[in-house]
């Protein structure tokens, strides 16, 4: 088996290796952390090069479907999961609300590509939920009477423009002027994204190693709860796409289950107590380990 096919087939091994290496041999430097955004942009660039941008906007023209997805993702699911968790532990419920209220992860099109889903639909979900998040997140916290959460719309929109639209524009240029090169190398793009994502996992987990291992028993209990949450999000996401074909179901599921937890971590650090920050950091564990089982299940459906 060729090397790139091995990496693509067993991508979960590389992601778990990055996670374990981050816990065992953490390397935290400002330089390494500063590379996370460029790595993410490269990942999106490789996905966009393989995806017709016209297909992305075609997906967004289905206004009824996109409105349904946004309403379920950004309002219904966060409220339902918050209310259910609030009956058990109000503090954890706030952390779960913060996580589930986030837009789809900027890496979701790359994750969708790994699982062989519809990357055009995944990208349209990413763009739409990112645009609406500055309005829905404060609304949720106000409606549920939770301490004020300040979200700077300009910060979100600027991040969106840099991380998403710049790679999209570059991909259009590359498809026009480097078509021969792209045709010869496109089979390697998913492999490169897997390696970059594994390196990002190593960096993020390593930067928070002491937080994760400081109170192991309490952390273990919270991690188990987060795994349950993410499994439920996979199930709900798949059910939400009941009218879609398999590739579209994958895109919808990943859009719901793989939220922008990096944004949640930033907001938790700025607005909430340390216990909620720790919960958002722990979300990296199921976020980075459940994609393998999900792809395995999807390959058998």
* Calpha distance 255→115 (Å, rounded): 13
Q: How many domains does the chain have?
A: 1
Residue-wise burial string across 127-159, b where 16 or more C-beta atoms lie within 10 A, e elsewhere: bbbbebbbebbbebbeeeebeebebeeeebeeb
Q: How far apart are the first and last CA of the chain?
A: 25
Distance (Å) of CA 15 to CA 95, 146, 172, 205, 285:
25, 35, 29, 11, 10
| Predicted confidence pLDDT, tens digits, the chain (301 residues) | 678 778 877 777 887 888 888 888 877 777 777 777 788 788 878 877 877 767 777 777 788 888 999 899 999 999 999 999 988 888 889 899 989 998 888 788 888 988 999 988 998 898 888 878 878 888 888 888 776 555 565 665 676 567 777 888 898 899 888 888 888 888 888 888 888 888 887 887 787 777 777 777 778 888 899 999 999 999 999 998 777 889 999 999 999 999 988 778 777 766 777 778 788 888 888 988 899 899 999 988 8
Q: Reduced to 3 states, what is the DSSP secondary structure of residue 100?
A: helix
* Calpha distance 182→42 (Å, rounded): 14
* Calpha distance 258→290 (Å, rounded): 10
Q: Which of 263, 278, 49, 250 is nearest to 167 (CA)?
A: 49
Q: Is 12 in contact with 291 (CB distance < 8 Å)?
A: yes
**Which tokens hold the place of 257?**
């289950």
Secondary structure (H, E, C), 166-215:
HHHHHHHHHHHHCHHHHHHHHHHHHHHHHHHHHHHHHHHHHHCHHHHHHC
Q: Is 157 in contact with 278 (CB distance < 8 Å)?
A: no
CATH code of 193's domain: 1.20.1530.20
- pLDDT value at residue 257: 94
- pLDDT value at residue 54: 72
Read off the pTM: 0.78
Residue-wise burial string across 109-122, b where 16 or more C-beta atoms lie within 10 A, e elsewhere: bbbbbbbebbbbbb
Q: 160 has which bridge partners? A: none
Range of the domain at 45: 3-299
Instruction: Find tokens 């390397």 and name the residue.
Output: 27
- CB atoms closer than 10 angstroms to residue 77: 19
- pLDDT value at residue 143: 85
* Calpha distance 128→66 (Å, rounded): 8
Sign of the Cα pseudo-torsion (112, 114, 118, 123, in order): positive
Q: Is 137 in contact with 18 (CB distance < 8 Å)?
A: no
Q: 104 has which bridge partners? A: 259
């Amino acid at each position: 088996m060729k090397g790139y096919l091995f990496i693509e087939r067993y991508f979960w091994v590389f992601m778990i290796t990055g996670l374990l290496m981050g816990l065992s041999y953490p390397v935290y430097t400002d330089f390494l952390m500063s590379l996370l955004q460029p790595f993410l942009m490269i990942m999106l660039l490789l996905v966009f090069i393989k995806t017709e941008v016209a297909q992305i906007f075609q997906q967004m023209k289905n206004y009824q479907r996109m409105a349904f997805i946004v309403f379920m993702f950004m309002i219904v699911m966060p409220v339902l999961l918050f209310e259910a968790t609030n009956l058990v532990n109000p503090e954890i419920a706030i952390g779960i609300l913060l996580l589930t209220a986030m837009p789809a992860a900027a890496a979701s099109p790359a994750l969708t590509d790994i699982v062989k889903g519809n990357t055009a639909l995944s990208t349209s979900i990413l763009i739409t939920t990112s645009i609406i998040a500055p309005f829905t997140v404060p609304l949720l916290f106000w409606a549920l009477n939770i301490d004020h959460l300040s979200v700077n719309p300009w910060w979100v929109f600027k991040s969106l423009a840099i991380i998403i639209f710049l790679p999209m524009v570059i991909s259009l240029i590359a498809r026009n002027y480097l078509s021969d090169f792209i045709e010869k190398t496109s089979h390697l793009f998913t492999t490169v994204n897997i390696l970059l994502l594994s390196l990002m996992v190593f960096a993020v987990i390593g930067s928070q190693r002491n937080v994760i291992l400081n109170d192991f028993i309490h952390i273990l209990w919270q991690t188990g709860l987060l795994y349950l949450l993410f499994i439920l999000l996979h199930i709900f996401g798949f059910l939400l796409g009941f009218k879609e074909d398999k590739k579209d179901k994958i895109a919808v599921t990943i859009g719901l289950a793989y939220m922008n937890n990096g944004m949640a971590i930033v907001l938790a650090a700025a607005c909430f107590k340390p216990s909620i920050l720790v919960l958002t950091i722990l979300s990296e564990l199921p976020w980075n380990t459940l994609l393998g089982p999900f792809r395995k299940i999807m390959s058998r459906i």
